[in-house]
Amino acid sequence: MAHSRPSSWQLQAPATGWRRGLLALLVLATLASGLAGMLGILRSGGLDAVDGLILTLFSITFGTTCLWFWTSMTGILLRMLKRHPVTLGRLHPDPANAPPLASTALVMPAFNEDMDGVAHCIAATWRSLEATGEARHFDFFLLSDSHDEVRRARERRTVAALQRRLGPGLRLYYRARDSNQGRKPGNIRDFCERWGDRYRYMVVLDADSRMTGEALLTLVRRMEANPQAGILQTVPLPVGQRTILGRLQQLGASLHARSIAFGLAFWQVNSTNYWGHNAILRLTAFRDCCGLPPLPGRAPLGGDIMSHDYVEAGLMRRHGHGVYVLPEIEGSFEGMPGNLIDDLKRERRWCQGNLQHLRLLTARGWLAITRFNYLVGGLAYVNAPLWLGLITVAAVDALWGAESVWLSAVSTPASPAIPLIALTLVLLFLPKVLNTGLALRQQPVGRYRPRLLTGALLEMGFGLLRAPVMMLLYSVYIARILAGRPAGWSPQLRGHRAVGAGLAWRLGAPMTAGALAVALATALQTPGFVIWLLPVLAGPVLYPLILQGSSRMAPAWLLPPTPEEQAGEVPMNRRIHPRPRSLVSDEPLMDAATALPTECFRPMPLQPLSATAQAG
């Protein structure tokens, strides 16, 4: 077979240990430089237990910043050199020796979704796939976990409308479960048990996912060439929103996400995390290795695993299968909420899931790289209260300390605070500047370039306002989770929903009042320190206005489309099926062509989350 011979489609990863060692060295050297600056600030007042606490908090939070900085910088370098992050060879494989395709199921779990949006994504993906001439290798499944028969009737009607509109080539099947036990992982598990033997691969899509046909073909062929791979994924870029928040986040992801993914693929190699959608899975490996049991104990830290995808990636690696991210494959897109309130519902669920992962750090049987991925994922949220604690300790010392080392540091030109601040600014903004330059260089000369630059600067400014807001919100989420209040798993709201002034102020007033109280106390006690707190206080003070304003539709002159949208690379369905006047109709909802394939049931065994449980 062609794919058994060495070829450019294989994911051979040279010098994996060297890569990780180099990255660790860079991170540790940068962290050491930052610690030296912090120690120089604290040493002037004599070190005590409080200073030890500050150094500990700083080491964790600043170390995470260093890790993401060097991950991004590595990705930027690889993109500029046009080198593949896994193989370090040519960026794209040779189409002349492309492996053959294989039977693949496109599965889309749905839970109380807006079916017009679902139909748009299915139609856009299928039309792009059909244009390749290879659609015969793919079947589409809509897997419903919706609660009531009214919604299910709408889903069946949508499937029938799509089949009529897209023609007989579309093999679109609809299945509704009696209960949504296990949530999305349970939905996928049910599919694997019933129809897993019919297909070699499964592409998991969210209800707002759309992918180009070329991206799907490339994923299948990469799988065929790499029998060691269990999961391959692309970088799904958010598209489709027209609100200010949506435009800013879409532009930020388009500019920066691919470089981060290149860097992650460079040092994680065959042990990346799985993001849960827009990815291809080897069905037999997934069914045999990735059955998820609930965590011991009650929610929120026990029960159903909310961020199941990270754990599924860890289970794949534990059984010897590779998990890769291939950021060079373009054409993968997803939707996103249109306002910050709906976006924060997802964040709270992810926060709970990533905290659950920390329980697995000491469990037996996980690879070291998997434990590190769990730790980094948890720190993405735990760093928020750590940063908050660090800022609080420094502020209290500056306001009520007899001789504040912080005020002395920021008022002395030769203070070690100056190079520390400069280093921090480099870590935070240099990757963003380089990514923006890379994107501008790839655009043809014209009116879009200055619009893209303006949008990038606005996105950077919005990030400065939002960062302290998220620090406070993440801290609240963690406190609620530790207090036993689970986040829940409600349907995602991806449409445009404007936030009114009343709701914005009701939700945002406590944060604004707290920030103003801190600013007032600082101004009365130590006026000179107020300017140093402004970057932290500005976002919280303006939080209600951010909630309300960012939910509004973005003016076309203010925020440009992403480069992918500008180039017409996003698969679109220009003729979405019309909304029915009534959910009740004499027209048959399903016909013989849509009958589900014959089942060949094979159970998907639950995997122990600890080797100790396996031994018992």
Distance of CA 277 to CAs 27, 190, 392, 409, Å? Answer: 30, 17, 39, 48
Q: Which helix (H) or strand (E) holds 279?
A: strand 279-282
- Residue 592 has a pLDDT of 39
pTM, two decimals, is 0.93
- Residue 494 has a pLDDT of 65
Domain assignment present for residue 547? The answer is no
Domain assignment present for residue 305? The answer is yes
Q: How far apart are the C-alpha atoms of 171 and 195, rounded to whole Å?
A: 14
- Residue 402 has a pLDDT of 52
- Count H helices and E strands in the chain, helices first: 19, 10
Phi first, then psi, for residue 138 (nearest 5°) are: -125, 140
For the chain, what is the domain count? 1
Domain assignment present for residue 195? The answer is yes
SS3 of 306, please? coil
Closest-CA residue to 567 (of 475, 415, 446): 446
Domain assignment present for residue 279? The answer is yes
- Residue 584 has a pLDDT of 34
The CATH number for 256's domain is: 3.90.550.10
- Residue 404 has a pLDDT of 63
pLDDT in tens, 15-30: 999 999 999 999 999 9
Q: Which residues of the chain have pLDDT under 70?
A: 1-6, 45, 398, 400-413, 489-495, 573-594, 611-616
Structural domain boundaries enclosing 168: 95-340
SS3 of 63, please? helix
Contact between 601 and 194 (Cβ < 8 Å): yes
Domain assignment present for residue 545? The answer is no
- Residue 155 has a pLDDT of 93
* Those residues with Cβ within 8 angstroms of residue 110's Cβ, 6 or more apart along the chain or in another chain: 118, 142, 143, 144, 145, 146, 155, 207
- Residue 277 has a pLDDT of 95
> Which residue has tokens 């939905």?
187
- Residue 577 has a pLDDT of 39
Domain assignment present for residue 580? The answer is no
- Residue 393 has a pLDDT of 83
Domain assignment present for residue 349? The answer is no
Domain assignment present for residue 4? The answer is no
